[in-house]
Amino acid sequence: MAHPTCQTKPVVFTPFNIICGIILLIGGVITILRFTKGIGAVTNLDDNNPWGIWIGFDLLCGVALAAGGYVTCATCYIFGLKKFRCAVRPAILTAFLGYALVVLALHYDVGRPWRLPYPIFFSQGTSSILFEVALCVFLYLTVLFLEFSPAAFEWLNWKRARYVIGKISLVLVIFGIILSTLHQSSLGALFLIVPSKLHPLWHSGYLAVYFFISSIFAGMSIVIFEHLVVDRFLHDKIDEEHDIESRNVALGFGKTASFLMAGYLMIQVIGIAIDNDWKYLGTRWGLWYLIEMIGFVGLPAVVYAIGVRERNLKLVQWTSFWTILGIILNRLNISLVAFNWQLPLGQKYFPSWMEVMTTVFIITIGVVFFKVIATRMPILHAHPDYPDDH
């Protein structure tokens, strides 16, 4: 048996590393093609469909699923539920990486990355919803970086910097919640200007409210599911306290998500009633809408409630994955599937394999960075010098 002080040589060619390496290589080649040959060389976008999967999935889904950061911080620091403290750092890290990758994905769609500061510092369109979204994402990404920095400072043993950032942590949390509330809802408000393009069942004057409420239970679900994945693949990095408290986090968020999803269904019905869109429910589009609402909101809400009542952790965790799929379906329905719904099928947008591969490439970057950071910094365990800050 090896001596405890002996260091084992790290295994490089693991299945995870090989698969990620292949994806990163292919994504790198597509990136070069995108920025040397233009957007038309790698996408199926056109004048009828200027926004594709890079907006529908990478931006809309990415921002919604990164909501775990502000939801968990609000739960722990604003509502004072300290039992959720163990979920704060993993949620902040996921949110920080999520928003950073959203910005990266926007470069692929918009191009000209050197002009990234223009909407913030040179734009005159301050009445535009897009300007508000850009400004909030820019500011919130900065806030997330500062909220994540204590873990990095502890890892680097920068005690003075760690002390200073700790003093303003509550201010950062409040600022982050305000910014998240603004841009989560504004992403839905973007589609208010296209009533003739978006199907009436998905277009509503309450889109901003729908996006905000769904982002809350999306954030809770991603926090629950994240622990399932981390417990499976990074269990040796989790300390005992985090492992025990994570069960309470899952059950608490599962219970709250169940109520929120029930409320979300109710306001969807109110929206249909106000717009008098009942007639569309008997069409094929109506069937698809009911599949989304009942199959991916109503049923998961019921299963969440059953899992919490029976204290069945696995059921709650897998329901979180079900809910995440529902959020993705909703955002893709609004941005792609039910968008330009009156166009003939032959003129409808469908992403090219390079668009899909670019999305997989961006997700893989996030997974790799999460693993690298979580295995080195005090994210899933308490730092011995700061046991009360985790």
Q: Which two tokens stand for residue 202?
A: 């998905």
CA distance 390 to 387: 6
pLDDT attached to residue 284: 95
* Residue 40, pLDDT above cutoff 60: yes
Of the candidates 54, 330, 326, the residue with the CA atom closest to the CA atom of residue 198:
330
Q: Which of 126, 92, 45 is nearest to 339 (CA)?
A: 45
Rounded to the nearest 10 degrees, the angle between the axes of helix 15-37 and helix 353-374 is 130
Q: How many CB atoms lie within 10 A of CB 299?
A: 16
- Residue that is written with structure tokens 């800050």 in the block: 389
The pLDDT assigned to 242 comes to 79
- DSSP label at 385? T
DSSP letter assigned to residue 75: I
Res 119: pLDDT? 74
Chain position carrying tokens 């390496």: 21
Name the residue with tokens 């968020």: 253
Residue ranges of E strands in 282-335: none
pLDDT at 7 over 50: no
Instruction: Give the tens place of pLDDT for each residue, 328-369.
Output: 999 999 999 999 888 887 778 899 999 999 999 999 999 999
**pLDDT by residue (tens digit) across 187-240?**
999 899 888 899 999 999 999 999 999 999 999 999 999 989 998 888 888 887
Least confident of 9-18, 56-65, 98-107, 168-177: 9-18
Q: What is the pLDDT of residue 386?
A: 67
- Contact status, residue 325 vs residue 291, Cβ threshold 8 Å: no
Cβ atoms of residues 88 and 81 within 8 Å = no
Architecture of the CATH domain 48-381: Up-down Bundle (1.20)
Mean pLDDT over the full length of the chain: 89
Tens-place pLDDT, residues 273-312:
999 999 999 999 999 999 999 999 999 999 999 999 999 9
- Kindly state the average pLDDT of the residues 124-152: 86
